[in-house]
A = this chain, B = another copy of it.
Amino acid sequence: MIETSATALVAELEAVVGARYVLRDTADVEPYFMDWIGRNSGEALCVVRPGSAQEVAEIVRICAYHGEPVFPQGGNTGVVTGSIPLKGGHGVLLSLSRLKAIRALDKPNNSMTVEAGLTLAEVQSTAASIDRLFPLSLSAEGTCQIGGNVSTNAGGTGVLRYGNARDLVLGLEVVLADGTVWNGLKTLRKDNTGYDLKNLFIGSEGTLGIVTAVSLKLFPRPRQLAGAWIGVPDVSAAGGLLATFQERFDAALTTFELISGPQAAIIYAHVPDARSPLPDYHPWIVFAELSSPLSSADLEAELTTALAEAAEAGLVRDAAIAQSERQARDFWRIRHGVSEANRRQGLNFTHDVAVPISRIGDFLAQADAETTRRFAGAEVYVVSHMGDGNVHYTVTFQPDRVAELAPGIDLGARVTEMIHDLAVACGGSFGAEHGIGQRYRASLKRYKSSIELAMFRQLKQALDPAGVLNPGKVLPES
Show the binding face of A for B, using Cβ within 8 Å.
Answer: 106-111, 152-153, 155, 159, 164, 166-167, 176, 180-184, 186-197, 199-200, 202-204, 208, 219-220, 222, 239, 243, 246-252, 292-298, 301-302, 354-359, 385, 387-390, 427-436, 440, 443-444, 447-449, 451-452, 455-456, 458-459, 461-463, 474
Contact = CB atoms under 8 A, between A and B. Distances in A.
Contacts of A247: 220, 293
A403 to B, nearest CB: 32
Copies of this chain, complex-wide, total 2
A263 to B, nearest CB: 20
Contact of A191 (B194, B220, B429, B474): B429
A9 B392 CA distance: 53
A359 B461 CA distance: 39
Given A182-B455, A249-B293, A358-B108, A155 B461 contact: no
B452 A109 contact: no
Tell which of A246, A247, A302, A390 has the most Cβ of chain B within 10 Å.
A247
Contacts of A251: 250-252
A109 B196 contact: no
Nearest to A458: B462
Contacts of A448: 193-194
Given A192-B203, A220-B250, A462-B462, 18 more contacts: A107-B243, A107-B358, A109-B356, A109-B358, A110-B357, A182-B451, A187-B356, A192-B434, A193-B443, A194-B456, A200-B459, A247-B293, A249-B294, A250-B292, A252-B294, A294-B294, A294-B302, A459-B459
A359 B388 CA distance: 35
Contact of A190 (B433, B444, B449): B433
Contacts of A427: 186-188
A55 B448 CA distance: 24
Contacts of A292: 250, 294
Nearest to A193: B431
A190 B358 contact: no
25 contacts: A108-B357, A109-B357, A109-B358, A152-B192, A153-B192, A180-B451, A188-B389, A189-B387, A189-B388, A191-B432, A192-B203, A192-B429, A192-B436, A193-B429, A195-B200, A195-B204, A196-B202, A222-B250, A247-B293, A250-B293, A294-B302, A296-B296, A296-B298, A459-B462, A461-B462
Q: Which 9 A-B pairs have the closest CB atoms?
A: A251-B251, A199-B199, A462-B462, A190-B432, A108-B358, A458-B462, A191-B429, A250-B293, A189-B388
A389 B203 CA distance: 27
Contact of A431 (B191, B356, B390): B191
Tell which of A190, A252, A429, A458 has the most Cβ of chain B within 10 Å.
A190
A234 to B, nearest CB: 15
A449 B357 contact: no
A108 to B, nearest CB: 4
A106 B192 contact: no
A342 to B, nearest CB: 20
A192 B156 CA distance: 13
A246 B297 contact: no
Contacts of A355: 188
A395 B166 CA distance: 36
A294 B295 CA distance: 12
Contact of A248 (B108, B184, B192, B293): B293
